[in-house]
Structure 1
Amino acid sequence: MNADARRIQRVYLTLTLGNTLAASFIWGINTLFLLDAGLTNLEAFAANAFFTAGMVLFEVPTGVVADTWGRKLSYLLGTITLAVSTLLYFLMWQVHAPFWAWAVVSMLLGLGFTFFSGAVDAWLVDALRFVGYAGGLEKVFGRAQIVSGIAILFGSVAGGVIAQATNLGVPFLIRAGVLVAMFVVAALLMKDIGFTPDHSTGPLKATRAVLSASIEFGLKRRAVRYMMFAAPFATGVGFYVFYALQPYLLELYGDKTAYSIAGLAAAILAGAQILGGWAAPRIRRLFRLRTTVIIGATLGSVVVLTALWLTTTFWVALLLLVLWGLVSAIGLPIQQSYMNDMIPSKQRATVLSFESLMGSVGGVVVQPILGRAADVSGYAASLGFAAIIELLGVPFILASRRQREKADAASDADAGDTTAGASGATDARGATDATPPDSPGDIGTLPPVD
């Protein structure tokens, strides 16, 4: 790896560390915070659904910002939007604001995250290709996941302890402060390399171009399309489970005010994420196809959620939480690499944002449904329903696998630009002839959160 590639990765990891640290201060207590503000389970998860609705609504416009005005600008706008929205959350908690206010500000939080989705990963991949990095992406995304895990480990524990020592609002103030600091860091270190922003088009024309690119390089490419169709199930369940585990573990623990336990749960997920990020490229080498690992991780998540449904013991639930975090963490870097290797550089941020949009649609629908299930049948039963919903995404991943894209078999040993333009010749059905048939024995997400 050359010096430029190392520098780019250091900047990417720094941004990842800061973003995740800011977010993680509230991850362990967010549901408790909403409930403490006077919301019911249905309203709390509906507020989260409005967050994901904001992501759906704003993905395309912010994709215009990333692909026409620059990935750096998109990142800077995201940090400021999230900082302001976080402060509004704090103020609403203080006054026990009505549900409609939570819905509006949750959508603003969604806007903040859409400035990040796709843009930062696209910035990394384009910059690495520009400076001649020829390694596999699993290693880079795996390192980012390890850094994220470390940030979550510290931030979530600190957030829970701080909340218990002070109140549930203080971690939100800390989060806003860290986001402002990251704005300064990105302004100094982040440069658009390997990508030239196009300022010549107006907003409406640029939006049409983004939608056209999302269709041409996303939905029209079968392997990418099927992964997009799978996203709503995994993302919707991931959103819900992460937040539902906070009150559920406190319920099993027997003390609903032990906020440090909620922070511990997020820290456990962080530890699993660190291990998963380290293990992902190593596990990838054990299988010929990336989709084997992705499907295996999805099925593993389904099994663990089913076990969480059946357990009534706090310590068993903690162990299962570790397993759930681990299988999710192993699958994510590999899925990121698979998608990035199928998308051309110029449309990378756009298509990745569109994939995020599809996942957010799942969050809008799934969270209120499972939140209502928790109100009616309890958290345990809602996790069982979550397992069933996540299982519905597996046929779409299998359909993507059947397209035999070169990106499915790509590995760290593959050099050069593994974008869609280098994915092998395709026939009329969209399948590629670059990958040999599946071997007989080869049979088989932390979401952005507000």
Structure 2
Amino acid sequence: MPSASLVRRTYYLLTAGNTLAGSLIWGINTIFLLDAGLSNLAAFAANACFTAGMVLFEVPTGIVADLWGRRASFLLGTVTLAVTTGLYVWLWHVHAPFWPWAAVSLLIGLGFTFFSGAVEAWLVDALAATGDDGPLEAVFARGQVVSGAAMLTGSVAGGYLAQLTDLGVPFLVRAGVYALMCGLAAALMRDVGFTPDRSLPPLARMRRIAGDSVRYGWRARQVRLLMLAAPFTGGVGVYVFYALQPHLLDLYDDAHAYGVAGVAAAAFAAAQITGGLLAGRIGGLFAHRLTAYLALTAAGVVALAGLGLAGRFWVALTLVVLWALLGAAAMPLRQAYVNGLIPSPQRATILSFDSLMTSTGGVAAQPALGRAADVWGYPVSFLISAALSACALPFLVRARAGTPAAPAAPPPRP
């Protein structure tokens, strides 16, 4: 049995490696797609296909994690992302039409669904098995800081690497990092505190997990309301993050300053670090986690609207940092609250379903907002994004008005 400190260190290492790999292209992804010959509509439609992949595969891969283990799910994710990232470079090299981009983007979404839910479920169960009774907010907040530091490093490195070489090199490096993470996870990650139920055939186990996930996830009032709010906040967040790249270059008045795009993404990462450090303190100012989460989400809507009105590079960058900081401070509070309401056997599946709801918003929002950017420009699309984000607030108000109940224990198995 590993110690709680070893579990936490492994979680931080996996978080850092995955974020570093992903962030190598976050500052240039939209520029990469546009350089391949896609329009704004096609580029964000490709991103929407990535999100659609997450919608299609979230629950099935969550069931994989609950049936065959969280370690197996993580390893499948790293292999899938290494291969599909290489395919992205090939599509860019041949200036492929939209449909191959859509297909590969869908598979990249599959790769990420192997991570969502599985790593978080692995952490929570392993800490419980080691007897660690510390607050989950602290671990998630530290993970947010680690993720932000890795994102800062990867964003700056990816932007300047593209500027010094070409836009394809950061993608090749990303594929290599995912291959490295596969090896590290194979050596360090073990399923602790979780034993898959193999008393039934695979299809019967899938039906049981899916049914229990609906019972303990969707039918739990607070969890359901948070999931209903997720498409508005998460879907908009994906669009805004990627639309910032060309928008900030427009404001900077140099379409080829890829390093500036990387620095902007690094500023976003620095805000994530700060938000993670402040999450516990901000949560302590409120009597309830959901009150703090609601206040931070509302403030984020205001910051996003300000971004749509900002006409200067440094003002826009400041608002980006503020928006990212508010989101980073809110996320650990939400993670800890949701994990406190769901049982261990269905944890990965329910968390994957939660991610599915976030991704569902991105499928609809990204192409629509990308089209708005083509027609009216990025500032108007950010104002529309703020309005969509505000639609999450009524669900959060209703969730806060209810009395949170402890998760029911699953019924005994015959």
Deviation at 1:297, TM superposition (A): 1.5
Q: Which moved more, 1:391-400 or 1:140-149?
A: 391-400
Distance in 1, matches of 2:210 and 2:3, equals 33
Report deviation, 1:61: 1.4
What is the CA deviation profile of residues 379-406 of structure 1, one whole-angstrom value per residue up to 9, with x for unaligned ones? 0000000000000011111121122215
The alignment status of 1:420 with 2:411, answered yes or no, reads no
Aligned residues of 1:65 and 1:74 also touching (Cα < 8 A): yes
Tell me whether 1:304 sits opposite 2:303 in the alignment: yes
1:149 touches 1:272 (CA, 8 Å); kept in 2? yes
Q: Distance in 1 between matches of 2:198 and 2:80?
A: 22
Determine the structure 1 residue equivalent to 2:76: 77
Give the counterpart letter for 2:407 in structure 1: A
- Give the letter for the 1:41 counterpart: N
Q: Distance in 2 between matches of 1:169 and 1:199?
A: 44
Does 2:258 match 1:259?
yes
User: What letter corresponds to residue 245 of structure 2 in structure 1?
Assistant: Q
Deviation string for 1:1-49 (max 9, x for gaps)?
x981111000000000100000010000000000001111011111111
Q: Check the 8 A contact 1:63/1:210 in 2, yes or no.
A: no
Match of 1:363 in 2: 362
Counterpart of 1:379 in structure 2 is 378
Give the letter for the 1:148 counterpart: S
**Equivalents in 2 of 1:60, 1:225: separation in Å?**
16
Cα distance between partner residues in 2 of 1:60 and 1:7: 29
Q: Does 1:152 align with 2:155?
A: no
Q: Distance in 2 between matches of 1:210 and 1:242?
A: 34
* Alignment correspondent of 2:319: 320
Q: CA deviation at 1:177?
A: 0.3
Tell me the percent identity: 59
Q: Which residue of 1 aligns with 2:269?
A: 270
- The Cα shift of 1:293 comes to 1.4
TM-score, normalised on structure 1?
Answer: 0.89
Kindly indicate whether the alpha-carbon contact (under 8 Å) linking 2:125 and 2:194 is maintained by their aligned counterparts in 1. Answer: yes
Whether contact under 8 Å (1:69, 1:199) holds in the other structure is no
Find the aligned partners of 2:195 and 2:69 in 1 and give their Cα distance.
8
| CA-CA distance at 1:203 after TM superposition | 4.2
Query: Are 1:20 and 2:7 matched, yes or no?
Result: no
The code of the aligned residue for 2:398 comes to A
Residues in 2 aligned to 1:209 and 1:231: alpha-carbon distance in whole angstroms: 25
Alignment of 1:33-432 (within 5 A): 33-405=32-404, 420-421=407-408
Note the aligned Cα RMSD (angstroms): 1.3
Q: 1:159 to 1:124 in 2, by over 3 A?
A: same
285-294 or 21-30, which deviates more: 285-294
TM-score by length of 2: 0.97
Aligned to 2:3, what secondary structure does the other structure show?
Answer: helix
- CA displacement, residues 421-442 of structure 1 (integer Å, 9 cap, x when unaligned): 48xxxxxxxxxxxxxxxxxxxx
Kindly provide the CA deviation profile for residues 53-83 of structure 1, in whole angstroms up to 9, marking residues without a partner as x: 1111111211121001000000000000011
Task: Give distance in 1, aligned partners of 2:118 and 2:359.
Answer: 16
The question of whether the paired residues in 2 share the 8 Å contact of 1:87 and 1:172 is answered with yes
| Structure 2 unaligned regions, length at least 5 | 410-414
* Cα offsets for 1:308-340 (capped at 9, x unmatched): 111110111111111011101100111111110
SS at match of 1:31: helix
- Distance in 1 (alpha carbons) for counterparts of 2:290 and 2:23: 29
Give the deviation of 1:274 after TM superposition: 0.5
1:9 is aligned with what amino acid?
A: R
Task: Answer whether contact 2:198 2:205 (CA < 8 A) is retained.
Answer: no
Would you say how many aligned residue pairs link Structure 1 and Structure 2?
Answer: 409
The whole-number CA distance in structure 1 between the counterparts of 2:408 and 2:103 is 41
CA distance in 1, matches of 2:201, 2:299: 46
2:150 counterpart letter in structure 1: A
Contact 1:17 / 1:151 at 8 angstroms: preserved in 2?
yes
**Residues 197 and 205 of structure 2 are in contact (CA less than 8 Å); yes or no, is this contact kept in structure 1?**
no
For the Cα contact (< 8 Å) 2:53–2:110, is it kept in 1? yes
Q: Which amino acid aligns with 2:261?
A: A
Distance 2:128 2:98 in 1: 46
**Are the structure 2 counterparts of residues 200 and 98 from structure 1 closer, same or farther at C-alpha, using a change threshold of 3 Å?**
farther
What is aligned with 2:7?
8
Listed one character per residue, the Cα deviations across residues 175-197 of structure 1 (whole Å, up to 9, x for unaligned) are 00000000000000000000002
**Which stretch of the first structure deviates more once superposed, 198-207 or 279-288?**
198-207
- Deviation, 1:213, is 2.1
**Aligned partner of residue 27 in structure 1, secondary structure:** coil
Specify the SS of the correspondent of 2:191: coil
- 1:97, 1:307 → 2: CA distance? 37
